[in-house]
Structure 1
Amino acid sequence: MGSLTTENGLLQKFDMDEIMNCMHCGFCLPTCPTYVQTGLETFSPRGRIALMKGVANGQLPIDDEFEKNMNACLGCRACETACPAGVPYGGLLETAREVAQDHKKTIEKPSRIRNLVFKHIFPHPKRVKRLGSLLWTAQALGLQSFADRTGLIRILPREMAEMQKSIDKVASPRKRKTRPHIMKAEGQKRLTVGLFTGCIMDILFYETNQATARLLTKAGCDVVFVEDQGCCGAMHAHSGEMSGAKELAKRNIEAFERANVDFIVNNAGGCGAALKEYDHWFHGDPVWEEQAARFVAKNRDANEILAELPPLTFSKSLPVKVTYQDSCHLAHGQGVRNQPRQLLRSIPGLELVEMKHPDSCCGSAGTYNLTNFDMSMQILDGKMEQVKETKTCMIVTSNPGCLLQMKQGIVRAGLQEQMEAVHIMDLLDRAL
């Protein structure tokens, strides 16, 4: 009886009104990377929504097959852009994964690795920083290159062994500790903004965060590195750990409220999409809904705010041909498409060449390239064929996960000598 009551409680989490809004028209099918790769209906948004409906109605069990079909989705949300009915597929997917995980926890204990990641590492910023320091130490001692040269890297799982080739040198602990709390605006001050530094972003892409801050100061912003902020919660939410995601969100809401900034700026498409959805996460919550709505109203992607501020003044020409890879969560999740292109075209000498489907997923999708490696690489290899057709020497993107994935794509395609992948903030900073 207790188990049945628990299961009924889980099923009530589904929003049946939104599930029923799906007209099964099929407009989503050609936009879905996993459906394009497999042709399987259960690997399409329409098919997954049908499975959600069956589970929510009690006609299908919450079993391993349901979990597998939900986890096979990249969560790229291209289907949302294509959907004529405006079905919020991303939210439905998060609910389905939460239901699957909560049900699983009634049957078996979560694995040690899952507990380690979601309970003991990412909710604790100091521990994330310590891991960053360990990585810096390994790089400084030459252990990473030694493992590559000797083949020791093969002791790692294949997906991690391939990914590590894309990781550049991380900033030293000393460099991170000595960063000033505030970077002052150059010239006339227009705004005070808080930079959302992220968790992994501030380790693997510390210099990108610094470049973003420099760009904002040149555009007239005081930039505050807000204390006590942490992980955005996206990884938890996408993995069915919604209660953990909300705890992380509460910490960020409170930290930025105390900072009292005009806007909250981030440079990671995936993080930004999560930050802008805090109000949905707390919908109906009598304590947090209003605070979450205020937090969301202040959030801007770095491309958004730089495009709104007076144009940056570039000191030199950058004669280079580039192609732009849209971050799924920036383009489909936040609707930010034109601003990055506007900024790129403002760089003197730069030529932007669009690929066939710049807003199709690269296969990164958070941790998807680790949990669904083969599918991720199939999608990436197809994306690299589009990149090759542009005959450019640079792939520009606006998300750290996409950046790592595109670097990996360059290596897989054997284009290391003729192409690089760059975050748009780094490229703008380079041009200045």
Structure 2
Amino acid sequence: MGLNEELSKCVHCGFCLEACPTYVITRSETHSPRGRIAAVKLGINSEGLATCMFCRRCELACPSGVKYSDIITAIRKPNLLEKIILKMLENPKSLVSFVKPVLRLEGFSPLEYEDEDYDIVLFPGCITSVVFRKTVENALRYLKSQGYRVKIFNGCCGLAHAHVGEMERAKQLVGKLKEVQNKPIISLSSNCSAFMKENGLDVYDFSEFIVKLNKDLPKKDIEVTVHEPCHAHLLGLDKYTREVLLRMGVNIKESEEPSFECGAGGDYFLFHRELSEQVMSVKREKTLKSGVSTVVSTNPSCSIAFLKMGLTPVHVADLIFK
């Protein structure tokens, strides 16, 4: 469906408003999906077009089935700094020196690993491979314990490119992963999993793999709350995370609106710091209503956001060995 056809589906009913994190904090039509669609229809270069967090929660709320993501990616273009960051994401090794001064987090060289005659591919995702390398090590350890021979494929899935309208390059990156599609691919970053699935790649999210192949899990006596990453939630992948936790005997303490945007928005927190921090503040309040500060987060940008909130993010792969 073309851009004009997608735009015409919006009837400006307002169901999207309370689903949108930037509208929730600003109460401004400019910073709502409905307002952004109106701006595109009118050809207005609205400030709101730049402030969209690309969480796509509006798509779940929309009764008319508007695929808002197709609209925003069609009109967005990356600035020079975003282009530089995208290039770095494609080669995670180059991110190591970027992480500490910009994100104020420790960065590590991506884990390189390949068994002879490997039978599955582990895809950490660009940020996870550098900022949360321990998660990659734990995932590899778990897969090896289940008898698999593993190859780690370090790179970017293309979601960050789609976020700023670089759809052609995003699809090229998915194409690179298709080159190893003769082996099952297991993704550690849930929003990456969702993006790759939407773009024709047969990939398992980490928890999805455990559930669908009925893999062994240890029992854990621990209380956590669960964050549902935006794109993964759109495709229903968080149900696998919850099932794995239940199988492990983990006590899930529910937060308020677990799918509410974390505030990171990919690289949004670098370019729209004030709005990002306001969304994070709302998310922190909603999260702490669970009564616990340990958050199961299966997406790296979200985990960075929780660290900024002073909470403790943990991936399913980490919980297995906790």
Task: Report if TM-score (shorter chain) is over 0.5.
Answer: yes
Report the residue type matching 1:117 in the other structure: I
Structure 1 gap segments, 5+ residues each: 1-12, 55-59, 102-109, 137-143, 145-155, 186-191, 279-292, 411-418
Q: Check whether the contact 1:196–1:265 (CA below 8 A) recurs between aligned residues.
A: yes
1:204 maps to what in 2? 131
2:158 maps to what in 1? 233
Distance of aligned partners of 1:366 and 1:202 in 2 relative to their CA distance in 1, 3 Å threshold? same
- Secondary structure of the residue that 2:8 maps to in structure 1? helix
2:233 maps to what in 1? 331
2:85 to 110, 117, 122: 117
Distance of aligned partners of 1:28 and 1:130 in 2 relative to their CA distance in 1, 3 Å threshold? closer
Partners of 2:298 and 2:263 lie apart in 1 by 15
1:252 to 177, 186, 190: 177
Deviation at 1:87, TM superposition (A): 1.6
1:43 maps to what in 2? 31
2:272 maps to what in 1? 372
Partners of 1:29 and 1:97 lie apart in 2 by 21
- Secondary structure of the residue that 2:309 maps to in structure 1? helix
Deviation at 1:305, TM superposition (A): 1.4
- Secondary structure of the residue that 1:276 maps to in structure 2? helix
Distance of aligned partners of 1:183 and 1:88 in 2 relative to their CA distance in 1, 3 Å threshold? farther
2:312 maps to what in 1? 420
Partners of 1:304 and 1:39 lie apart in 2 by 37
Partners of 1:357 and 1:387 lie apart in 2 by 8
Distance of aligned partners of 1:20 and 1:248 in 2 relative to their CA distance in 1, 3 Å threshold? same
Deviation at 1:402, TM superposition (A): 0.5
Report the residue type matching 1:182 in the other structure: D
Partners of 1:376 and 1:308 lie apart in 2 by 36
Q: Check whether the contact 1:182–1:225 (CA below 8 A) recurs between aligned residues.
A: no
Deviation at 1:80, TM superposition (A): 1.2
1:344 to 245, 254, 262: 245
Partners of 1:84 and 1:131 lie apart in 2 by 40
Deviation at 1:424, TM superposition (A): 2.1
Partners of 2:266 and 2:95 lie apart in 1 by 18
Partners of 2:209 and 2:186 lie apart in 1 by 8
Deviation at 1:225, TM superposition (A): 2.1
Report the residue type matching 2:225 in the other structure: T
- Secondary structure of the residue that 2:321 maps to in structure 1? helix
Deviation at 1:49, TM superposition (A): 1.5
Partners of 1:219 and 1:321 lie apart in 2 by 26
Q: Which consecutive aligned stretches of 4+ in structure 1 deviate over 6 angstroms post-superposition?
A: none
Matched, 1:302 2:206: yes
Root-mean-square deviation over aligned CA pairs: 2.6
Percent identity (aligned): 31
- Secondary structure of the residue that 1:360 maps to in structure 2? coil
Structure with greater Cα Rg = 1
- Secondary structure of the residue that 2:270 maps to in structure 1? helix
Report the residue type matching 2:314 in the other structure: V
Deviation at 1:23, TM superposition (A): 2.4
Distance of aligned partners of 1:182 and 1:72 in 2 relative to their CA distance in 1, 3 Å threshold? same
Q: Check whether the contact 2:125–2:188 (CA below 8 A) recurs between aligned residues.
A: no
Report the residue type matching 2:157 in the other structure: C
Deviation at 1:170, TM superposition (A): 3.9
Partners of 2:76 and 2:113 lie apart in 1 by 40
Which string of whole-angstrom CA distances, capped at 9 and with x for unpartnered residues, describes residues 119-149 of structure 1? 5x334x2xx41442x479xxxxxxx7xxxxx
1:195 maps to what in 2? 122
Q: Check whether the contact 1:320–1:393 (CA below 8 A) recurs between aligned residues.
A: no
Distance of aligned partners of 1:93 and 1:219 in 2 relative to their CA distance in 1, 3 Å threshold? farther
Partners of 1:409 and 1:183 lie apart in 2 by 42
Q: How does 1:115-154 map to 2 (within 5 A)?
A: 115-119=83-87, 121-123=88-90, 125=91, 128-132=92-96, 134=97
Structure 2 gap segments, 5+ residues each: none
Q: Check whether the contact 1:303–1:340 (CA below 8 A) recurs between aligned residues.
A: yes
Q: Check whether the contact 1:118–1:244 (CA below 8 A) recurs between aligned residues.
A: no
Distance of aligned partners of 1:115 and 1:336 in 2 relative to their CA distance in 1, 3 Å threshold? closer
Report the residue type matching 2:229 in the other structure: S
Which string of whole-angstrom CA distances, capped at 9 and with x for unpartnered residues, describes residues 248-268 of structure 1? 3333333x14xx20x221111
Q: Check whether the contact 1:266–1:302 (CA below 8 A) recurs between aligned residues.
A: yes
